[in-house]
Amino acid sequence: MIGVMSAMEIELKFISNDMVILHVDTFASTEYLVGSIHGLPCVIVYGGIGKVGSAQTAQTLILKYDVDAVIFTGVAGGIDPELDIGDIVISSNVVHHDLGQILPDRFIPFDTVGFSADSALLQLALQAAKNIEFDVIPENIRGEAASPTVVIGRVATGDQFISSEEKRVWIERVFRADCVEMEGAAVGQICVSNNVPFIVVRSLSDLANEHAEVDFEAFVLYAAKNSSMLVKEMLRLLSAQ
């Protein structure tokens, strides 16, 4: 049984459309779609934006459904300046960027080590990325049509939508992150504490700068689709094992 999570419904609809749904459960006002994809038993759920909801949802997947692994899919803001909108980050590690002590002149993070994603799921995601043909990145993003770059990287998580170049640079410098979002490290922390394999797959909808809000609205659907394509291929590969 595989748990597939996202923060928003739009991030999961490309996956749930291909699901054979057996029943829908509700826990703590959150709906869990139970069924299969490619014959593989799955529970699909979007737990809302932010760390609290995603942690609660991940724990429910583990306690109520005894999932063998958790895959989180969705969009993110780019932190690595070498990446652009549409590129995809497969997590090797997730870390909280907003957990720490605020002093008058600086912020001291409590943890820069984070939580490591499962190595077998990481290799599976890389194989899935090789197998599929992603939607081409729109010309208005890069000036010419291009295929997404897929990288293994670090995902930074905080209860903040980052729309600041100054903050983007800080997250890059302090955490050496490749992208930033609002759920991954919370899911990773819950999974690690329960000894359940996890991985986060994120497609960039913006670059976490002053244009982030506008870019997010323009490109979230495109980014969510590519991330979902990769996860669906991961599920197909798992079903064949």
The active-site residue out of 80, 118, 172, 206 is 206
Range of the domain at 162: 73-239
Average pLDDT over residues 30-51: 95
> Is the pLDDT score of 144 beyond 80?
no
pLDDT of amino acid 137: 81
> Is the pLDDT score of 200 beyond 90?
yes
Q: Identify whether the C-beta of residue 90 lies closer than 8 Å to the C-beta of residue 151.
A: yes
Q: Flag whether 158 is in a domain.
A: yes
pLDDT of amino acid 213: 81
200 HSE (CA, 13 A, CB side):
37
Residue 11 bears catalytic tag: yes
Q: Flag whether 27 is in a domain.
A: no
The active-site residue out of 11, 87, 181, 183 is 11
Q: Flag whether 45 is in a domain.
A: no
pLDDT of amino acid 223: 85
Q: Flag whether 164 is in a domain.
A: yes
Name the average pLDDT for the chain: 93
Give the count of domains, the chain. Answer: 1
DSSP letter string, 207-222: -SSTTHHHHHHHHHHH
Give the domain CATH number at 119: 3.40.50.1580
* pLDDT more than 70, % of the chain: 99
Global confidence as pTM = 0.94
pLDDT band at 90 (very low <50, low <70, confident <90, very high): very high
Residue 166 bears catalytic tag: no
The CA distances from residue 140 to 104, 144, 145, 146, 200, in Å, are 42, 7, 8, 11, 27
Q: Flag whether 18 is in a domain.
A: no
Q: Flag whether 132 is in a domain.
A: yes
